[in-house]
A and B are shown apart, each in its own frame.
Chain A
Amino acid sequence: MELFDHLLYGLQNLAGVTPVLVVIAGVVVGILGGAMPGISPSMAVALLLPFTFGMSASMGIVMLCAIYLAANYGGSITAVMINTPGTPSAVVTAFDGYPLTRKGQAGTGLGVSLIASVVGGFVGIVILILFSGPLARLALKFWPAEYFALAVLGLSTIASLGGGRWLESFVAVLLGLLLNTIGLDPLSGVSRFTFDIVRLYDGFSFIPVLIGLFALSEVFSCIESGEVNAPSVVPDKDKSPWPSVRDYLKLKYAMLRAGIIGTVIGIFPGAGGTIASFIAYDVEKRVSNDPDSFGKGTPFGVAAAEASNSASVGGALVPLLTLGIPGSSSAAVLLGALMIHELQPGPELFTKHPEIVYTLFSSLFVANIFILILGLLGARLWIRTALIPKRALYPMILAFSFIGSFAVRSSMFDVGVCLAFGVIGWILTRYDVPVSPVVLGMILGTMIEQNLRTTIMMGGPGLFFSRPLSLALLTLAFASVLVPYLRGRKSPSSRKGAGGAA
């Protein structure tokens, strides 16, 4: 009961015009920042950080948390409408969100992504408030061996992502992993394939690659196929484009499952919302009665992706508040914000400044409610994107892709990267190689390499098998690749869509 008193106290701090305006401002900036390709949640939080210097510590943190939470939702809007994930964690949302739009059901895609984000957000916050202690102890059980095993488990999701096209998916994921070897060696600092270009020292910047692979390649394919001149899909005028409450209720377990997965994976520094969404999507596909509908526009896919990445926000705050260690790059910016206000993040915050902690908790609830309200209002606007003729829309996508790529590091080099990956993505799509495994390979590559080598430095490869958690995760990963493969061999007739590559 004491907890509720604290939360109520926190809510009282939020009563008043200024705090509510601060939350609304945070949510608006977050949604717009998230929707803009090129501005990831951590960048949205970072951009607004200087504005919080003049505020009180608790208001500043409230605003930044609202941005963080809202940006994770915002990324889904462009993913659903124009197949351009606004944030890395929305990549998975595009798998089913965009096919829904193409089918003329943009309302379903937008509605489900909003509701799933809000539900996932709530799941994450509740778990954060109730179980941050035990979760922090779990995070400490993770050694590099476990991080490696978790990344391998993430990689194993390609087995289901590729939709039966084993070889193509495998090639794509290898491409992603190989791209990751460009840049300074994460352990020894030796420069690899950088050709002495300082911009390449950290490898390819992830966001320009993402925009190129998804948005630009789509534009190129469209130009090639002449689809640009095709009329846009106009939704049925007589029917409401939005899903009914009953439609949402059907997704409740999917959202809950994904929310829990998202929160738990969110607690591990370096894993975060993107990996969480891949794994949640994979799990959802496996438990589904109709796995074939995934990738072709099922609300279950959108719900899993969005619920998990929004839930990861709560997860990422667990190590920040309990150990003083940020669980994600956005949480790292929050840590900086606390330090600027001369507050030490970590367990001391609970004892020395409980008012800040509980205001933060309450503000997450409030922010989530405003995401729902503003999201519902905004969705009426976003859905009109579907009505824009492609001839007008695609040049705009092209322009925004370049602006977004430039925005990441104010660098023309990244614009070139975006263009190059646009061409690569177009070629891959043309030969029926899925692009999402490339992204997965790039996200997980560094994590796999660093943790593999660290483990071997620490005590040799035996550690992967002598540590129970690591062994369990690796077995799970192995099984999740092997089972569908064996099943696929038993019934070769169920294999589809491999024709293009042959």
Chain B
Amino acid sequence: MKRTVLWLSVVAILVSSACAALAAYPEKPIHVVNYVGPGGLMDVTSRKFVSVAKKFTDATFVIENKEGAGGLVGMQAVLEQPADGYTVFAATTSNIAKVLTSKKNVDEYVWGFEWIAMLMKDPECLIAAEKAPVNSWESLVKDAKEKNGAQLWTGPAAGGNDHLIAMKVWDKAGIVGKWIPYKSGPEAMMALLSGQGVVYVGNPADVGGREGFKIIAVARGERMKQFPDVPTFAELGVKGLEDEVMWRGFAVRKGTPEEAIVWWETLLKKVVADPEWRGFLEKDGIDVVDYGRKEFTEQIKKDLEDSTTYLRKYGLIK
């Protein structure tokens, strides 16, 4: 009898504390795990997000950097934590491609997460050196036809998002190029400036502050406000590249309590409405979005499908 009472009280305490925890998300610090080092693109984004979010919530955020293996180390670290919403993975498009190219289990590394908040769409674009002979879409196509497969495209890692966009462009425009991967985006841009390749695949922000670059085409439905002279692919006669983006967003482990997810979705709406946040991103030509679970999951599905198709088509995976 005594024992039963003891057990009951233990259960009662556990249940009540669990309820208390649920009732008050977040009641302890939330860890945001970045897969890049401090100062990296996603790191800068998460830190800015947190600093804007502090206007709307008293929650404490801890930004962590778990670098390595193109995000797999960070993803694994989050998947090892309990699914309570207190460990959040700060993801970008590249992570999805990485899971595929390194042949990791998609069900574990992609669908082991609940994709809760997509912050932005950074349109993909082609960048050329301003003074090079190839500095427009027309000259690029002409050069590609002349070189017949030997035209060099620069960018970061093979199989990453930028490479994927390159493959899509080749496919849709009916040209062939050769992808030369560099250690990082900036190094690939330097290579472009020194004449090693003719075009770099990146985002509008890449030309900011740097001299000698020119965006020649953007994979967006309409022209960007910040770069009104840059034509879209559709205007150039290439269809099917209206919405190619690099996104950044947050994910939690599958099984996280509904309440925590709703809390994040609500917070995202508030942050997105904030002028400081919008200004920070829009100056670089980035489209601010406030996608919750449903739309974000759709985006992930599209990414997986596209990546698999093109990586297979160009022989990067079987």
- CB interface residues, A 317-345, toward B, < 8 Å: 319, 323-326, 332-337, 339-340, 342-345
B69: A residues at CB distance < 8 A: 184, 198-199, 201-202
Q: How far is the CB of A29 from chain B (nearest CB, A)?
A: 14
Q: B190 near A325 (CB under 8 angstroms)?
A: yes
Residue total for A at the interface (Cβ-Cβ under 8 A): 51
Across the interface, do B193 and A184 meet the contact criterion of CB distance under 8 Å?
no
Q: Is the CB of B44 within 8 A of A336?
A: yes
Q: Is B48 in contact with chain A by the CB < 8 A criterion?
A: yes
CB neighbours of A458 from chain B (8 A): 152, 180, 196
Question: Is the beta-carbon distance between B183 and A270 smaller than 8 angstroms?
Answer: yes
Cβ contact of A344, chosen from B187, B193, B208, cutoff 8 A: B208
Residues from 27 to 58 in B contacting A, C-beta threshold 8 Å:
37-40, 43-44, 47-48, 51
Cα of A199 to Cα of B67 in the assembled complex, Å = 10
CB neighbours (8 Å) of B158 from chain A are 187-189
Select from chain A the residue with minimum beta-carbon distance to B73: A198
Residues from chain A with a CB closer than 8 A to the CB of B3 are none
CA distance A458 to B181 in the complex (A): 11
- Judge whether A392 is part of the interface by a CB distance below 8 angstroms: no
- A335 near B39: Cβ-Cβ < 8 Å: yes
Pairwise interchain contact B209-A202, C-beta atoms closer than 8 A: no
Closest-CB distance, B150 to chain A (whole angstroms): 8
For residue B194, which residues in chain A have a CB less than 8 angstroms away from its CB?
A: 140-143
Which of A19-27, A45-53, A156-164 makes up part of the contact surface?
A45-53
Q: Residue A144 at the B interface, CB < 8 A? A: yes
Q: Is the CB of B187 within 8 A of A269?
A: yes
Asked if A347 CB lies within 8 Å of chain B CBs, one says: yes
**With A140-B193, A141-B194, A458-B180 as given contacts, are A324 and B209 in contact (CB-CB < 8 Å)?**
yes
Given A141-B194, A187-B181, A323:B210 Cβ within 8 A: yes
- In the complex, the answer to whether A337 meets B39 with C-beta atoms within 8 Å is yes
A141 to B38, CA, bound (A): 30
Q: Are B190 and A457 in contact (CB under 8 A)?
A: no
Number of A-B residue pairs having CB atoms within 8 Å of each other in the complex:
130
Closest CB-CB distance, A405 to chain B, in whole Å? 15
A139 adjacent to chain B (CB < 8 Å): yes
In the complex, A139→B39 CA distance in Å? 23
Please measure, in the bound complex, the distance between the C-alpha atom of A463 and the C-alpha atom of B316, giving whole angstroms. Answer: 26
Which residues 134-155 of B have a CB within 8 angstroms of A?
A: 152
Q: How far is the CB of B68 from chain A (nearest CB, A)?
A: 5
Give Cα distance in the complex from A345 to B158, angstroms.
Answer: 26
Flag if A324 contacts B210 (CB, 8 Å). yes
The interface residues of chain A lying within 8 Å CB-to-CB of B67 are: 409
Q: Nearest chain A CB to B39's CB is how many angstroms away?
A: 2
Q: Are A188 and B190 in contact (CB under 8 A)?
A: no
- Proximity string of chain A (184-197) to chain B, C-beta cutoff 8 Å, 1 when within and 0 when not: 10111101000000
Q: Is the CB of B38 within 8 A of A333?
A: yes
Q: Please indicate the chain B residues that have their CB under 8 angstroms from the CB of A198 in the complex.
A: 68-69, 72-73, 76
**CA of A169 to CA of B316 in the docked complex: distance in angstroms?**
38
B186 touches A324 (CB 8 A): yes
Given known contacts A189-B158, A198-B72, A346 and B211 CB-to-CB distance under 8 angstroms: yes
In the complex, whether B178 has a CB less than 8 A from a CB of chain A is yes
Tell which of B39, B178, B187, B196 touches A336, judged by Cβ atoms closer than 8 Å.
B39
- In the assembled complex, A454 has its CB within 8 A of some CB on chain B: yes
B183 and A336 contact, CB distance less than 8 A: no
A188→B316 contact, CB < 8 A = yes
Q: Which residues of A contact B68 (CB under 8 A)?
A: 198-199, 201-202, 409
Query: Is B38 a contact partner of A50 (Cβ separation < 8 A)?
Result: yes
Q: Which of A270, A332, A337, A348 contacts B209, CB < 8 Å?
A: A348
User: Could you tell me if A340 and B183 are in contact, using CB atoms closer than 8 angstroms?
Assistant: no
Residue A232 CB within 8 A of the other chain: no
Is A349 on the interface with B (CB-CB < 8 A)? yes
Q: In the complex the two chains form, is A336's CB within 8 Å of B210's CB?
A: no
Contact across chains for B63 and A50 when beta carbons are under 8 A apart: yes
Closest CB in chain B relative to A91 CB, distance in Å: 22
Residues of A within 8 A of B209 (CB): 324, 343-349
A349 to B210, CA, bound (A): 9
Q: Please name all residues of chain A whose beta carbon is closer than 8 Å to the beta carbon of B159 when the two chains form the complex.
A: 188-189
- Residues of B with C-beta under 8 A to A140: 190, 193-194
B138 CB to nearest A CB, Å: 24
Residues B182-224 near A (CB distance < 8 A):
182-184, 186-187, 189-191, 193-194, 196, 208-211
| Choice from A326, A335, A336, A348 contacting B211 with Cβ under 8 Å | A348
Known: A139-B190, A198-B73, A458-B180. A340 touches B211 (CB 8 A): no
The reply to whether B211 and A347 form a contact with Cβ atoms under 8 Å apart is: yes
Compute how far the CA of A139 lies from the CA of B189 in the bound complex, rounded to whole angstroms.
13
Chain B residue with Cβ nearest A330? B39
Please measure, in the bound complex, the distance between the C-alpha atom of A454 and the C-alpha atom of B152, giving whole angstroms. Answer: 11
Interface: A221 (CB within 8 A) = no
Known contacts A198-B73, A332-B39, A458-B180; A189/B101 CB under 8 A: yes
Q: Is B111 an interface residue (CB 8 A)?
A: no
Query: CB-nearest residue of chain B relative to A336?
Result: B39
Chain A stretch 27-63: residues in CB contact (< 8 A) with chain B: 42, 46-47, 49-50, 53
Q: How far is the CA of A141 from the CA of B195 in the complex (A)?
A: 9
CB distance from B241 to the nearest CB of A (A): 24
Q: Nearest B residue to A457 by beta-carbon distance?
A: B180
From A319, A335, A450, give the contact of B183 (CB < 8 A). A450
Q: Are B39 and A199 in contact (CB under 8 A)?
A: no
Q: Are B157 and A53 in contact (CB under 8 A)?
A: no
**Smallest CB gap from B157: residue in A:** A189
Q: CA–CA, A336 to B185, complex, Å?
A: 14
CA distance A319 to B48 in the complex (A): 26
Q: A198-B69, A201-B68, A458-B180 are in contact. Are A325 and B186 (CB under 8 A)?
A: yes
Bound Cα distance A340, B42 (Å): 11
Name the A residues within 8 Å of B182 (CB-CB): 454
- Choose among A326, A337, A457 the residue that contacts B186 (Cβ–Cβ < 8 A): A326
CB proximity to B under 8 Å, residues A127-159: 139-144
Give complex CA distance A202, B72 in Å. Answer: 11
Other-chain contact of B190, A187, A319, A337, A347 (Cβ < 8 Å): A319
Q: Is B248 an interface residue (CB 8 A)?
A: no
Q: How far is the CB of A221 from chain B (nearest CB, A)?
A: 32
CB distance from B254 to the nearest CB of A (A): 19
- B44–A325 CB distance below 8 A: no
Is B40 touching A336 in the complex (CB atoms < 8 A)?
yes
* Contact of B280 with A by CB under 8 A: yes
Q: Is B66 an interface residue (CB 8 A)?
A: yes
Residues of B within 8 Å of A323, CB to CB, are 190, 193, 210
CB nearest neighbor in A for B104: A198
| C-alpha gap A324/B65 in the complex (Å) | 23
Contact status B66-A457, CB under 8 Å:
no
Question: Apart from A198-B72, A201-B68, A458-B180, what 9 extra A-B contacts exist at CB < 8 Å?
Answer: A189-B159, A198-B76, A201-B69, A201-B70, A325-B187, A342-B280, A342-B283, A347-B209, A457-B178
Closest 6 pairs (CB-CB, A-B): A336-B39, A344-B209, A201-B69, A346-B209, A46-B38, A140-B194
Binding site for A on B (CB under 8 A): 37-40, 43-44, 47-48, 51, 63, 65-70, 72-73, 76, 101-103, 152, 157-159, 178, 180-184, 186-187, 189-191, 193-194, 196, 208-211, 280, 283, 316
9 A-B contact pairs sorted by A residue (CB < 8 Å):
A42-B37, A50-B47, A50-B63, A143-B194, A143-B196, A186-B181, A187-B158, A189-B316, A346-B209
